[in-house]
Amino acid sequence: MKKAYKFQIGKMDEKRAKRRKRLAIVFSLLFGIPLLSLAIAAGGFAIWADKADFDPSLLPTATAIPAFYDAYGNELSYLQSAYISPEEVPDVLKYAFVALEDKRFFKHNGYDAVRMAGATLKNLKARKVVEGASTITQQLVKNTHLTHQRTLKRKLTEIAIARKIEEAYSKDEIMAMYLSVIYFGAGNYGVKAAAEDFFGKRIGELSVAECATLAAIVKSPAGYSPKNHPDKCKTRRDMTLDLMKDQGYIDEETAKRAKEEELTVARKKEESNIGKLFVSLARDEVCARLGLTKYQLDNSGLKIYTSLDPAVQAALERERENSLNFEGENVNSVAVVLDSQAKVLGYSSDYAYQIRRQAGSTLKPLAVYAPAFDKKIVSLSTPVVDERIDYGGFSPDNFAGKFYGQTNVKEAIKRSMNSVSVKVLDYLGVDESRKYLSLFGIEPSEDDNSYALALGSLSKGVTPLELAGGYCALANGGNARTPSFIRYAVDGDKKLLETTDIRSAVSEAGAALTSIALKDAVKDGTAKALSVLPFEVAAKTGTAARADGKNSDGWIAAYNDSCTVVVWHGNDMGMTERGGGYPAMHAARIWQSLWEVMDMSKEMKTSDSIKSVVIDEYSTNAMSCVVAANENTPIEYQKTEYFDVANLPEHTSGSFDAARPAEFEIDISFGKVWLSFETEEIYCYELYRTDALGRELLIRTSGGNLPVSVCDSPIGLGSRVTYELVCSLLCRPELSATTQKGIFYEAYGYADNV
């Protein structure tokens, strides 16, 4: 028995040992391998992260802010107020952000592992992302180095760079950089801008409650806006104050007093941002042309000499205030002035960036007419019919549905006839139009490949600056430059950005012919509002409409030898304005101001590439091609027009050298003789009948291009009846031609024509 018992005990021990071994294996599989994998992954991440690096030039340290100067060397205010130094940050402001955003900020080395683990558990429990774990350092990295995509790789990169930044900068430096770049809503980047906008204070003047408010906004600038959602903002502010108290940054009495403080938003200061905008756009141009980020620029110490003319800028600012729509519509505006070298002398806008809008008819000279003149497809005098057309379902109307009939290209430009613009584009070709637009500095997209280009439709629209650059090229004989806010920059003893590109957009003749038509548009065309000016300008207006027919954009582009002015008015909700209305009046006031501050000649210079020719308008329309006048052309049909010296009229008039015989038709029905013929405006017509009773005048008429019908009852008596149509030139009655036809006529019919 004892031996059997011992055997049983041995068997049980063996089973326990096997069970323990199995449990050890299961435990290893469940925990050991994942832990080992995690350790390997952590080691691998540590090795990878150690190789990661950051770009100091992307961080908002602003150690060598550039200086900007106007055209006369006067320094301009560089309003890059987002940047703050560590010394500028009040402790209470710093602690408000730490308490709410990153309570272990002073302890971690860029990322908070404890917080990440807690957030992961909460997110797993909720089965969705309910809590993030980014530290202040990580948020700085995200705002300066990375995109905002939510991917694992981006998050790991963010952590790796955050660790490197923690090694290179102090906590106070990191906090200052973070506060310089975060977004507070309402266009405010950085705590300086937010403090000024929301409270009208510098950051050193903020109260404890205001510091807590700024920290409260960051999580959702729109949702916790003190302007739009004051109640939500106050609730989150008070929560921030509680956290500051709980974490020992303020005492209970301070928290209580801060909670009792009213949440008051400062009234927006009414001040012009035009000077700020010019410098901001000049900064953007410098960054683009030198391949710098704005942070790199603000550490560059460059001296940047702009083309800003203070007198011109003051005029734009003044006239912007005067450009209100008297219909009471809320209309925004942009105005830009370029000199003859496409340098920006002044720029005003209701926007803090360069807008893109539909250009309407202001694009026609650049997309259609100047290219067509350049290619010698048409001249100013080319006859064309303004009529309803249909190109594959594309059938544009003119303003008010009016079509002008027989006209010429110059009149079509002056009165902005849409069907003529489409016809000329058809002659030119859409692909050619796109090429010319690119040369003018307006880049069409792949979608811009239809006849809609003839009406100024571009899928991405055009900026006022781009449009001004195109018209400046017309003012400069077809030579285009990219508009620039910068004359040059200085880096130590080295000059940068001294020149911009120059390219031939159209021939000198093409530009000159376009300018002649656009000067006529000012005299008595769509840009007539500028005709009050005491000097010569060329101009084109344009209007773009919404799908419901209401106008959304009104433009005018005008230029002379001194400068180019473009004015845009717009309203996405719809407006009554057209380019020839308020925008043109706005532009006229700007030009008048420029006349007072600039040396401007009264007349625009002419080009040797074009030549004046007296044409015969009557013959031109009659023959559907341009015909030069001769010595016999009456004065009323003579018109002096300019032509490309390489594209002069090929035909000379002969219409008034001799009379041409006119044809007429004879028909007899019910015993009556019917005679019909077409008249021309340069002739007088006399119709005679000779029958048994002798020769008699049936009708004398003169007038233009009308059908004439005469019913006659001759006395033929079965013999010959003769009809004569005598046509004489009105201007030279001695020159005439006769057409004669005869019939055998009886009372109830005729035998035959003779």
User: Any idea which residues carry the catalytic annotation?
Assistant: 101, 361
Q: How far is CA 181 from CA 81, 82, 216, in A?
A: 11, 7, 16
At position 337, the amino acid (one-letter code) is V
Kindly provide the residue ranges of all beta strands, DSSP E only, lying in 523-637, ordered along the sequence. Answer: 538-545, 551-559, 563-575, 610-616, 627-628
Kindly provide the residue ranges of all beta strands, DSSP E only, lying in 11-155, ordered along the sequence. Answer: 67-69, 75-76
Distance CA 238, CA 230 (A): 12
Distance CA 337, CA 310 (A): 12
Residue partners of 673: CB distance under 8 A and separation at least 6:
666, 667, 711, 712, 713, 714, 721, 743, 745, 750
Q: List the one residue out of 80, 79, 94, 61 whose CA is nearest residue 177.
A: 61
- Residue 91: Cβ within 10 Å count: 10
Q: List the one residue out of 244, 259, 214, 238 whose CA is nearest residue 100.
A: 244
Please, which residues bridge with residue 728 across strands? 684, 736
Return contacts of 729-733, CB within 8 angstroms, 24+ apart. 729/656, 729/659, 729/682, 729/683, 729/684, 730/682, 730/683, 730/684, 730/702, 731/634, 731/656, 731/682, 732/632, 732/656, 733/684
Return contacts of 138-143, CB within 8 angstroms, 24+ apart. 138/110, 138/111, 138/162, 139/101, 139/178, 139/182, 140/59, 140/165, 140/174, 140/177, 140/178, 140/181, 141/54, 141/165, 143/178, 143/181, 143/182
Distance CA 619, CA 647 (A): 18
Query: H or E stretch including 189?
Result: none
Q: List the one residue out of 510, 502, 509, 512 whose CA is nearest residue 479.
A: 502
Distance CA 472, CA 560 (A): 9
Distance CA 190, CA 209 (A): 18
DSSP 31: I
Q: What are phi and psi of 337, to 5 degrees?
A: -125, 125
- Decide: 252 and 245 in contact? Cβ < 8 Å: yes
- Residue 345: Cβ within 10 Å count: 28
- Decide: 616 and 640 in contact? Cβ < 8 Å: no
- Decide: 354 and 278 in contact? Cβ < 8 Å: no
Tokens 């055209």 belong to residue: 71
Please, which residues bridge with residue 408 across strands? 383
Starting from the edge strand earliest in sequence, which strands make up the sheet with 563-575, in order?
344-349, 332-339, 563-575, 551-559, 538-545
DSSP 748: T
Please, which residues bridge with residue 406 across strands? 385
